[in-house]
Copies of this chain bind each other. A is one copy, B any other.
Amino acid sequence: MNEPVFTLSAGPTTAPDRVLAAQARPITYHYDPAFLEGFRRTERKVAELFRTRQDVLLMQGEAVLGLEAAARSLVRPGMPVLNLVSGVFGKGMGYWLAAFGAELHELEAPYNDAVDPEEVDRFLAEHPEIELVAVVHCETPSGTLNPVGEIGPIAKRHGAMTLVDCVSSLAGIPIWPDEWQLDVCVAGPQKCLAGPPGMSLMTVSDDAWSAIRANPAAPRASFLSMLDWKEQWLEGGKFPFTPSVVDVHGVEAACDVILEEGLEASFERHAQAAAACREGARAMEIDLWPVSDEVAAACVTALAVPDGLTDTQVRDHCRARYGVMISGGQGAGNLVRIGHMGPTARSLYPLLGLAAVGRTLLDLGAPVKLGDGLEATLQALSKIEQVV
């Protein structure tokens, strides 16, 4: 099987050359003083991306590890928890919260829409016992974004902590734990940060640490333990186990790339790439999955698959025929997704994605206005000050 020519998936995504090169750096012993320095430097760089003064944890394992660790650490059996659901990742978090013993409440939005912060406010007012609100920032499977910047302060005002899945946001969409008063955030390096999958980049507030320390059910002496990292590493300088040296090298380089570019510049090009992609899709007469541009995420554009076709057909034809790897719906619906993450959120990548999807749809018998769509995408890109 040939390697893909272009990876425009919803993550793991195309990584910059500097990240790849960093992953080829010699592997060192984890207690080598140069590695210890590098690990701490990486923590600080991740903190810069979050603009936070909270503790940063670099846990080993794809973001699912961080989410599970956070949920297990925060949820005390019997704890009243509000889970906000607007997609499959939110839904999945609910299963975990319940499994870990929470008294689970859920507010649901359709999977092509976002949670309404006023509804959250009302619910919390009616349920002052809620101690924790769980929310997904970007529901990557359906390309939508929840207003975490509004939800965080609401929760805090009602005395509840927040557990935020911002796996695909970091470095591409603003996510500010301090300003938004978020307690635990879990991001992944393999999305807008364009690093290697394999780590959970987390922020933890003092409130969260207090709750976790007080929670007898919080994992201890476990690969899933946030407390081990806090007590052994952050406070004691000893790793709970061998960190994944290669991923750490990759994550640091990915942070460097974004920090040198500037966070604002990165946010802007993610937003512009997504807007140009939506513009093109509309002109091509492909339905956008999100109910409105307001709820559409900047890191991925979800396109409805026309009736009679499946996401898998489209994704597989696109890859097999044109060498372009996009993502399917991952359970969120009959949709395909073009990622705008890291390097693919610049230059002509949105055009590439649309061209591949559009031509694929034609090949599979679905009518699309291919030329109009591509022209519209380029038109949108041509108006951007700096696409490179």
Kindly identify, within residues 120 to 141 of chain A, every residue whose CB is under 8 Å from any CB belonging to chain B.
none
Known: A61-B60, A322-B387. A370 touches B359 (CB 8 A): no
A214 to B14 CA separation, bound complex (whole angstroms): 42
Kindly identify, within residues 337 to 388 of chain A, every residue whose CB is under 8 Å from any CB belonging to chain B.
343, 346-349, 351-352, 355-356, 358-359, 362-363, 370-372, 374-375, 378, 381-382, 387-388
Structural contact, B198 and A244, CB atoms closer than 8 A: yes
Kindly identify, within residues 228 to 280 of chain A, every residue whose CB is under 8 Å from any CB belonging to chain B.
240-247, 250
A328 to B32 CA separation, bound complex (whole angstroms): 11
| Set B7, B26, B62: member contacting A28, Cβ < 8 A | B7
| Set B2, B242, B319, B382: member contacting A12, Cβ < 8 A | B242
Known: A14-B27, A244-B198, A245-B197. A323 touches B5 (CB 8 A): no
A351 to B324 CA separation, bound complex (whole angstroms): 13
Q: Is the C-beta of A224 less than 8 angstroms from some C-beta in chain B?
A: yes
Chain B residues, CB < 8 A from A62: 60, 241-244
A319 to B34 CA separation, bound complex (whole angstroms): 10
A5 to B386 CA separation, bound complex (whole angstroms): 13
Chain B residues, CB < 8 A from A21: 21, 24-25
CB distance from A201 to the nearest CB of B (A): 14
Structural contact, A347 and B324, CB atoms closer than 8 A: yes
A375 to B20 CA separation, bound complex (whole angstroms): 34
A386 to B241 CA separation, bound complex (whole angstroms): 32
Structural contact, B319 and A32, CB atoms closer than 8 A: yes
Chain B residues, CB < 8 A from A25: 17, 20-21
CB distance from A154 to the nearest CB of B (A): 30
Structural contact, A355 and B382, CB atoms closer than 8 A: no
Cβ-closest chain B residue relative to A386: B321
CB distance from A332 to the nearest CB of B (A): 15
Structural contact, B370 and A4, CB atoms closer than 8 A: no
Q: Is the C-beta of A3 less than 8 angstroms from some C-beta in chain B?
A: yes
A297 to B27 CA separation, bound complex (whole angstroms): 23
A58 to B12 CA separation, bound complex (whole angstroms): 18
CB distance from A32 to the nearest CB of B (A): 5
| Set B23, B358, B374: member contacting A370, Cβ < 8 A | B374
CB distance from A247 to the nearest CB of B (A): 6
- Additional 18 contacts, C-beta under 8 A, given A197-B245, A244-B244: A1-B33, A4-B34, A5-B346, A5-B347, A14-B26, A27-B197, A31-B328, A60-B198, A62-B243, A197-B246, A223-B223, A322-B381, A348-B352, A359-B378, A370-B371, A370-B374, A374-B374, A374-B375
Q: Which residues of A contact B (CB under 8 A)?
A: 1-7, 9, 11-15, 17, 19-21, 23-34, 37, 60-65, 68-69, 95-96, 99, 188, 190, 196-198, 221-224, 240-247, 250, 319-325, 327-328, 343, 346-349, 351-352, 355-356, 358-359, 362-363, 370-372, 374-375, 378, 381-382, 387-388
Q: List 6 A-B pairs, Cβ < 8 Å.
A: A7-B32, A11-B29, A197-B246, A224-B224, A244-B244, A322-B347
